Amino acid sequence: MVINFAAGPAKLPEEVLKEVQANLLNCNGSGISVMEMSHRSSNYAKIHDAALADLRELLKLPKNYKVLLMQGGGTGQFAAVALNLIGRTGTADYVITGSWSAKAAKEAAQYGKVNTVVPKVDRYIDVPRQETWKLDPNASYVYYCDNETVDGVEFDFVPQLPTDVPLVCDMSSNFLSRPIDVNKFGVIFAGAQKNIGPSGVTVVIVREDLIGKHLKITPSVLNFELMDKNDSLYNTPPTFGIYVMGQVFQWIKRNGGVAGMCERAKAKSKLIYDIIDKSNGFYICPVASRARSHMNLPFRIGSATGNEALEKEFLTKAESQGMIQLKGHRSVGGIRASLYNAITLAETQQLAKLMQAFYENNKN
């Protein structure tokens, strides 16, 4: 058995994969695969509408929020957010707490002025408290990434802003892993490939009063207004990805909803962090306790900068036991365990068992 701890594309629930497999050649009695279904057909419309309805139910979405199913991943939304929102004042605030928010700010700077509200740091290991932020009162919106996949930094609070300043959030790597009050946000987006489905689909949740504010240069495929008017069918959508994502939404509903996912996430991450914290410095997580991610857990072995030989040995042992994709991102190194919704507590316990045994064998 293989346990996939990848940061994305990531593990999908086995139950969902079996459902997809069973329906691959004859989806919902249509006689054809969803991969060959016309996106204009009534068969696909049922799949599309059901996925949207289930997501609205899971998030308790207010009626004044629209759900768009777009393409281009999070990177596409780095541009789309700016193109659709920055035109109000020509400037935007960016809270940079990791690699992805830094890339988003760089992309947005092509379309307007970007104000970075926290000082630049060499390593991303914490979320600066909001009282230290230098917000621009003229900003069209404030942008942040709720969970930095590379750096393992996750917000432990939702920023509080004046009612006339939209809050924009990249939730790609912790979407549907903990309850949120959508009313606090202007835009939320999430690439599916980390926590809710295969790559190719990006969920965008946007408050309706923010639609139609795009710059004239906005490409059609990134235009919130066009996508909304066409029910995300302006161009051919990633139909197979949307189908699988819809199955994941139903799986989440069967397993306690978002609250259930949150409890699982807390239990799994605590298991690993407890081993790290009780290892007398053998395992080191560089992230401040208050900002430790429940989804992406980075750590070094042997020292703060890592013992390359020990880390290589650990990864080899993990692979020999069927645990794959544990190597840290190339920009930070070390080990990274991604404990997305589909990773079970039992699978996390296997990683914990390996970590404990490896510590016992190498602590001296």
pLDDT digits over 38-59, tens only? Answer: 999 999 999 999 999 999 999 9
Q: Is 181 noted as a catalytic residue in this protein?
A: no
Tell me the pLDDT tens digit for each residue of 223-250: 999 999 999 999 999 999 999 999 999 9
Location of structure tokens 């930095």: 148
Q: Is 170 noted as a catalytic residue in this protein?
A: yes
Tell me which of 93, 126, 170, 228 is the catalytic residue: 170
45 contacts: CB under 8 Å, gap ≥ 6: none
229 contacts: CB under 8 Å, gap ≥ 6: none
CB of 203 within 8 A of CB of 282? no
Tell me the pLDDT tens digit for each residue of 273-307: 999 999 999 999 999 999 999 999 999 998 878 88
Q: How high is the pLDDT of residue 304? A: 79
Check pLDDT > 80 for residue 364.
no
- Phi and psi torsions of 189, nearest 5°: -135, 155
Tell me which of 194, 228, 268, 327 is the catalytic residue: 194
Q: Is 133 noted as a catalytic residue in this protein?
A: no
Q: Which domains does the chain have, with CATH numbers?
A: 14-255 (3.40.640.10), 257-361 (3.90.1150.10)
User: Alpha carbon of 33 to those of 36, 233, 273: distances in Å?
Assistant: 6, 19, 43
User: Alpha carbon of 208 to those of 91, 107, 151, 168: distances in Å?
Assistant: 21, 24, 33, 14
User: Alpha carbon of 80 to those of 111, 224, 357: distances in Å?
Assistant: 10, 8, 47
Tell me which of 54, 66, 93, 100 is the catalytic residue: 100
User: Alpha carbon of 119 to those of 123, 161, 223, 325: distances in Å?
Assistant: 11, 20, 32, 32
155 contacts: CB under 8 Å, gap ≥ 6: 97, 127, 144, 146, 147, 291
CB of 211 within 8 A of CB of 82? no
